[in-house]
Structure 1
Amino acid sequence: MADAAMTMIRRPHRRSEGEAFTGPVLYRVADAMNVLSMSRTVIYDLIRTGRLRTVCEGRSRRIPASAITDYVALLEREAGGKQ
Structure 2
Amino acid sequence: MTPHASAAVQAGPSTAEELLTIPQVMARLQLGRSAVYDLLRTRQLGSITLGRARRIPTRALTNFIRTRLEQEAA
In the TM superposition, what is the alpha-carbon distance from 1:12 to its structure 2 partner? 3.2
Larger-Rg structure: 2
Q: Which of 3, 11, 14 is the matching residue for 1:12?
A: 14
Taking the aligned partners of 1:54 and 1:40, their CA distance within structure 2 comes to: 15
Higher RCO structure (Cα 8 Å, ≥6 apart): 2
Matched to 1:12, the amino acid is S
TM-score by length of 2: 0.76
The structure whose residues are more often strand, as a share, is 1
Taking the aligned partners of 2:66 and 2:14, their CA distance within structure 1 comes to: 22
Aligned residues: 63
Q: Which of 22, 36, 59 is the matching residue for 1:43?
A: 36
The structure whose residues are more often helix, as a share, is 2
Q: Percent sequence identity over matched residues?
A: 29
Alpha carbons of 1:69 and 1:80: their partners in 2 closer, same or farther (altered >3 Å)? Answer: same
Taking the aligned partners of 2:33 and 2:19, their CA distance within structure 1 comes to: 17
In the TM superposition, what is the alpha-carbon distance from 1:59 to its structure 2 partner? 1.2
Secondary structure of the structure 1 residue equivalent to 2:39:
helix
Secondary structure of the structure 2 residue equivalent to 1:50:
coil
